[in-house]
Each structure stands twice: as C-alpha cells, then as structure tokens.
Structure 1
Amino acid sequence: MFTRMKTSLSQIHRYSWVSLSVCWLIWILNAYDREIVLRLGPSISETFDLSPDTWGVIASLIMLALAVMPIAGSAMSDRHGGGHKRAAFQVPLVIGTTALAFLSGFKTVSHNIVAFIAIRVGVNLGAGWGEPVGVSNTAEWWPRERRGFALGAHHTGYPIGSLLSGVAGAAVLTWFGDDGWSYAFFFSLVFAVPIMLFWRKYSTRDKIDTLYADIEAKGLTAPEVITETDERPKGILRKVLTTPQITGTAVTTMLTQIVYMGVNTVLPLYLHNIVGLSLAESAGLSVVFTLTGIVGQVLWPTLSDLFGRRVTIVICGIWMAVSVGCLYFATTSVLVVVVQLAFGLVANAVWPVYYATASDAAPEGGTSTANGVITTAMFIGGGIAPVLMGRLVGLGGGWEESTGYVYTFLCMAGFALIGALIPLFIRHVRPAAPDTGQATAAR
C-alpha cells in the first residue's frame, strides 16, 4: 500500500525550491566543518603523538559538543517563530559557527592542543544547534506530502560536505605538507557570509503566505507553523518527549550515529595503518561512500513518502548492518571502495527519514523541538563512537594491528541491526495523504 503523489515536483512552487537550495548550501558548510576534523585524524594524531584511546577521547569530546544545544536551541528557535522568521534566527548562528571554524585554521591555535580542542568544541556547539533549525527551515517551506523528498534532497548536502572535507584535506596535505593540516579549516566562512545574507533578505512573510496558499490550492497540506511568539502552545517539550514515535526514533538515531561516526573515525586510520596508504590518500579515499550517499539521500526519503517511514528505516538499518560488517573482508583498497559504495547507499539516507518521522509526529508549534530531540540523540551517539572505537582498536593491539579494526566493524554492524528492529515496536503516523490533506493512521 502506498500514497500516490497528486502533484509532481515540477508543480512545486519556486519559493520551496529556493529555500531548499539555500538550506542545502548551509548543510554542506555544516557537514564540512564537522567532518574535516575526522578526515585529518591521522595528521592530528601524529602532530600531538596521540594513542588510539587519547584520540578517541578528544574526538569524542569534540563530537559530544554537538549534543549540547539542539533541544534548548531548537526550543529557542520555535519561540522566535517558524516559517519566514526562522531565517532571522539561523543567520547569525551559521556565520558565528563558521567564523570560529576559520579561527581554528591558524597554526597558533590549531597546534596548541588545548586551544584547538576549545575552538573545535565551540564550532560544534554552533553546528549542533544549527542542524535542527536548518532541518525545520526546510520542512516548513514544503508541503507535508513531499517532506521526505525535501529533507532527503536537503541532506544530500551532508555527503557532499563530507566529500569536500576529504578532498580539501587531501589537497591541503599535498600542498602544505603533513604539518599544514589546519589550513583546511579556512574555507567555510568565505561561502557562509553571502549565502546567509541572501537568506535573511529572501525569507519574508509575503513569500511564506504566498507559498502556503499555493500548497493548499493544489490540494496538499501546508506545514503547521506558528510565527507569533504569543501563539505558541505551552508544554511543547513535554509533548515531544512523551510521543513514542519521536523518542523511539531518537534511540534508533543514536545507534545509527554510532555506526556512521564509527566508520568516519576508524576508516582513515584503517586505510593508513593497515591498507598502507599515505595520509593524503587515506583522507581522500575514506569518503568514497559519499558518492552513493548522494543518490541514497534522494531515493530512500522519497520512498518513505510512498511506502512509509517505518518500512524505510528497517530496510536501511539491515542494509547498513550488512555493509558495515563487510568491511571485515575489505583488506585491499579495491574492496574498501566496493564496500564503501554499498554502505553509502544508506549511510546518509537515514537522517532525513528520521527527521521526517519526527516532523510528522511533532505537536503543533514543535517541529524544531522534535527535530532537536533527534539531533541530540544523534550527537550523543556521535560522541560515544570515537571513545568506543578507540577502545576497541586499543584492545586489538593499537593503530597498526588489524584485530582492533575488526572488532569495530562487527560492533557497528550489531548496533545497526538493533536500530533497525526498534521501529517495529513503535506506532508510526503516515505523512498526510494528498487527496484528503490529513495524516492517516499508522500501519
């Protein structure tokens, strides 16, 4: 059984497409600033002579900073107002985050381990805060029936940003040598300022009113957006946290993020220490999965609009478990590429499905808060992953022994499988059906 789409993408209003394009560019910058630290993991470890456990703790601290602000920051964003008002909240947040990232590019900062950790924690505080705000901005400019597609297309920016982090990391190491790794942090601010100034000017009440009228005229469902602070219902966070569809999806999100961040943490080091690639080669080859990730992030969220979020989450979770487990057999660069391409088809695709699930189930006026819960769970998983992977690598004999990497691959496969089973025990709400404009009951 599936939901037939009444309006093709060609009929979607141009305001939706412009907002999607802007939020997509913002997402690329967010992904780049978060992922570049992991791409440079071998270089950073060599600069400061870090053991696997020590690097795992440092990476974990930096990644856990992503989990600090999403819920509180999302609630602040909701209180400020949705729709056209959310851009005004988003602009200084993105510019401030990329400015901090720029600062960490200077060697006087990056080659002092205390200053480096402090600045990168600051960057991730802003990046974690900005993610659910950006997701909500995308969701609020598209009809509910096309929410999966919109969030999937938006999230293709993440594998692109991740890919660019690998390319930039490899290029910087090639041009400036192993000691010049920090220069890769300079890029994002240059692009962030003009993008955000455009978005602040573009996002207006007139545009959002015109867009919602167009959505309803085509028989689709406009998002439920509260633009005035005094209209916002009370107790939004409590309602969000007592919605099983949101909290259950958050647990699955946490487990999946352990897998995703575990691969990002371990793979560059595996390629350098076990496969035998140079630092520059390992930084570049560790992001091959992003190529198919771009395809998967459009395919699976769109299918979730048709066949349901739950079925899509289960299929992607099983696929992820199998593909990560196959890294056990990837002992050559060719096999690493093949397995990564299979992993990539679902690696990035699950996040927009999780966000669409939370957005579908969010109480009125709580879209960003619901997405903030998903983001927090995701980043808690991201913080757990480096410590866990570093410990497993250490138990297996350290950086240069393959046993520890095998432990990490099998552990990640298990987490992915558990995450795939959780949605089977949670009642899910379908996206609104196009012919009625109302959400139907879950299967």
Structure 2
Amino acid sequence: MMSKVIQSKYFKHIVLSLLFLGWCLGNLDRFVINYAVVSISDDLGLSASSQGIILSSFFLGYAIMQIPGGALADRFGYRKVILFSLFSWSVFTMITGSVWSLFSLVLVRFLFGIGEGGFFPSGSKAIAVNFPVNQRSSAMSIMLASAAIMGVVTPLVSGFALDSIGWRSLFHIFGIIGIIITVLMFFFLKEPARISAQPAASTSSNKKASLITVLKSPMIWGLFISYFSIYAVNWGLSSWMPTYMVNVRGLNLKEMGLLSVIPAVISIFSMLLGGYVMDRIPPGKVNKISAVFGMVVAAALYLMSTAGSIAMLITYETIVRIAAGFVSTLIISKSVKSMPETLAATASGFVNTGAQLAGFLTPMLIGFLVDASGGAYGTAFTMLIGFAVICSVSLLFNPRTQTDLPAEPQTTLSH
C-alpha cells in the first residue's frame, strides 16, 4: 500500500506539468486571435463590428461547454475529456488558418470554444483527484498562472510571427503543435483509480451524483456570482485598457504595449504566491481575507479612474491585478476543495461558466457605456467597481469550505 501512495505523490506532479503545458497552449491559441484579427480583417475585408463578433464567438462556445465538459469528466474520467478537448481545439486552430469569410471564421471560433471548453473543468478534476485538499489551491494557481504567462508571451510571439509568416501559417503551426501535445498526453497522462474503503452503496451513490447536486449548493452559487464579478473586472480591463490608454491617456501603441507588460508580469508571481498562501490560511478566515482583497480591487479601480499620471495609473492597475488574481484563485480552488471528487469537474465547470459569461458580456457593456457617455470612461469604471463590490460581498457571506475531506487519496494508475 505504501508503494502505491509514494507512486501517486510523484504522479501528481506529472499530471500538473501536463495540465500546465496544455493550458499554456490553450491560452496561446485563445489570445493570438486578439492580435491576428487586424490582419484577418484586412485580408477578408471585415468591419470593426465584425471583429467584435469574432472575438465574442469563442466565449459563447467556451461558456456553453463548461458544464457539459465537467459532467463528462465526472462520469467518464478526466483523461478522455482532456484528450478529446486538446485534439479538437487543435484541429479548429488549424482550420482557423484556412477560413474564407466572416461566417466561416465565426463558426470555427465558436467550435474552437466548444472544443476547449472541456479542458478547464476536467483539469480541475485531475487536480481534485491527485492532490490533497491542502495542496489544491497551489496546484490550481499554477494552472491558472499559464494565462498570465501567455498574456506576456503572446504579444511577443504574435508580433514577430504575423509580420514574418502571416496569420494563416501561424494558426496552422499552432494547430500542429497542439496535435503533438495531444500525442504526448496520450502516452503520459494517466487516470488514477481511487483505492477506497467506502461501502459499495456509497460509491454507487457518488457515481449517480449529477448537476442537480451542484445546483443545490448555496456555496457553488455564491462562487458563481463571485467568479462572474471578478472576471467582469479582468475581462473589462483586458479588452478596453489598450483603447483607454491610447484614446484617453494619449499613449502610442508601442508605449501602451510596453507598459501593459508590467502588471501582467507581476500578476504571474502574485497568483502563484496567492495559491501557496491560500493553502495555509485557516478555512474560517479565507472568506474574510478574500472579501478584503475584493474591496482592494474596488478601491484601486477608483484610483485608476482618477490617476493623475501614467505611472500612478499603472501602479493602481498592478494592485488590481494582484488582488484580483488572489480572489480568482480562491474562488475556483474552493470549488475543487469543497465538493466531493465525483463532482469536482461539474462544480468547477459551473463556476467557470460565470467567468466566461463575463467575458462575453462585459466588453459589450463597456462599449455601450462609453458610447452613451460620449467617449468618457467614468461610467465604465463605476460598473467595474460595482462588480468588485458584488464579488466581495458574495465571498464574505459564502458558506465555509468543508474540512472533512480526505487528506490524501491513495491511487493506482489505470489506462
């Protein structure tokens, strides 16, 4: 028995490394469209409104697949869903390089979102199965940090590649890389079989647990609201800060790009540190501390809107990114810490649906508010501050994390 436990301790790090690699590629494939869309629009003759439809189509497909992807991972295991997800989004990444019209591009990006949508909830289940409760926040923070890392890498890679080989070849190459990583995961990503002393009736009951069980949890609904709200802030800033800094603050594109790297780099380390610290905070204090960080986000957003210099604007944005990263890690890791392993993927998929709906809605809401205000961003900042406050209040009154889950699952490898 001891040898099996030791084996699982090594195995969990292999799993996390593969999840990190896959999620880096997923974020790279997802982010590159933001930079390639300019070249795509020039080649296909697309308008600005068409660009918005292209960018939103991914989030719609991705949000739709969160709950089904989680349910499939809970029922059939995370390995099958991860392999299918990675393979399908890689195929649609390659097809992106061969589109010929707005309709074909929107359809492909929507299907790309459907394909990628199963990866996050199944990856969350992989962490819940392979890591003890007191290590899951650290593991989740490593997987989530891939987005921040790719936020720094993608502009550098895209800028060089789009200029040298063009957007069609770029998507073809990224798709091929995805197929290679899929093959790598096929051979090295395994599904551990839980060794349990639970009665057979109890195991059978767990297998029959469904989305209804998740929807009956007030804690999960609170996390859904919190995740929607904090990602409304994240996506709002990510989508509109470049335009705000150029049109309102008077920066050129090069200056804007260089300054945007500062909060992105710092957020990588803050997210990793946040996961490490969170695993060591007593359960009874997690909600209160996270609610405080939510209010820090709100205060820093207000200071951003009134900053008198670019230096102070970037300073306050960095504070927002640090605090929001901590809160984001808490919310999604709490879903995999608090729910039974048989429901981990469904729960995280449902919670992550809130974040993707925020990504779909917030940029459009900000655009409407800016147009209605004659180009002013005051009402947009007010909306983001409101979302930060909602997130903080929701976390403060969210039920406490369960503390009676097993400390370390004992596993054997199955294929």
Interval of TM-score (by shorter of Structure 1 and Structure 2): 0.7 to 0.9
The change in CA–CA distance for 1:359 and 1:406 in structure 2 (over 3 A counts) is same
For 1:277 and 1:69, locate their aligned partners in 2 and report how far apart those are by CA, in whole Å. Answer: 38
The change in CA–CA distance for 1:43 and 1:252 in structure 2 (over 3 A counts) is farther
Do the aligned partners of 1:60 and 1:386 also contact (CA within 8 Å) in 2? no
Query: How many aligned residue pairs are there?
Result: 395
The structure where helix makes up a greater share of residues is: 2
Letter in 1 for 2:365: L
Equivalence for 1:315? 292
Alignment of 1:195 onto 2:172: no
192, 197, 222: which is aligned to 1:248?
Answer: 222
Equivalence for 1:382? 359
**1:129-140 paired onto structure 2 within 5 Å:** 129-140=118-129
The change in CA–CA distance for 1:435 and 1:202 in structure 2 (over 3 A counts) is closer
Structure 1 position 174, deviation (Å): 5.2
Structure 1 position 281, deviation (Å): 5.5
Structure 1 position 433, deviation (Å): 8.4
For 1:389 and 1:298, locate their aligned partners in 2 and report how far apart those are by CA, in whole Å. Answer: 30
Equivalence for 1:424? 396
For 1:44 and 1:392, locate their aligned partners in 2 and report how far apart those are by CA, in whole Å. Answer: 27
For 2:262 and 2:47, locate their aligned partners in 1 and report how far apart those are by CA, in whole Å. Answer: 27
Structure 1 position 40, deviation (Å): 5.3
RMSD: 3.3
The change in CA–CA distance for 1:175 and 1:351 in structure 2 (over 3 A counts) is same
Alignment of 1:100 onto 2:86: no
For 2:407 and 2:333, locate their aligned partners in 1 and report how far apart those are by CA, in whole Å. Answer: 20
Alignment of 1:162 onto 2:188: no
| Deviations, residues 359-408 of structure 1 (Å, cap 9, x unaligned) | 122245111111111111111111111210111121233xxx4x1x3332
Do the aligned partners of 2:132 and 2:408 also contact (CA within 8 Å) in 1? no
The change in CA–CA distance for 1:271 and 1:314 in structure 2 (over 3 A counts) is same
Do the aligned partners of 1:169 and 1:283 also contact (CA within 8 Å) in 2? no
Structure 1 position 58, deviation (Å): 4.9
Aligned sequence identity (%):
23
**1:92-241 paired onto structure 2 within 5 Å:** 92-106=84-98, 108-109=99-100, 112-172=101-161, 175=164, 180=166, 185-204=171-190, 208=192, 232-241=206-215
| Deviations, residues 161-220 of structure 1 (Å, cap 9, x unaligned) | 2222222333345557xxx55665445334333333222222335xx36xx78xxxxxxx
| Deviations, residues 19-58 of structure 1 (Å, cap 9, x unaligned) | 111111111122222233345566677863325xx65555
The change in CA–CA distance for 1:186 and 1:163 in structure 2 (over 3 A counts) is farther
81, 103, 112: which is aligned to 1:89?
Answer: 81
Alignment of 1:343 onto 2:315: no
Do the aligned partners of 2:131 and 2:408 also contact (CA within 8 Å) in 1? no
Residue segments in structure 2 that go unaligned for 5+ positions in a row: 1-6, 410-415
For 2:339 and 2:400, locate their aligned partners in 1 and report how far apart those are by CA, in whole Å. Answer: 12
Alignment of 1:265 onto 2:239: yes
Structure 1 position 424, deviation (Å): 1.9
Residue segments in structure 1 that go unaligned for 5+ positions in a row: 1-10, 214-221, 438-443
Query: TM-score, length-normalised on structure 1?
Result: 0.78
Do the aligned partners of 1:291 and 1:344 also contact (CA within 8 Å) in 2? no
The change in CA–CA distance for 1:57 and 1:88 in structure 2 (over 3 A counts) is closer
Query: TM-score, length-normalised on structure 2?
Result: 0.83
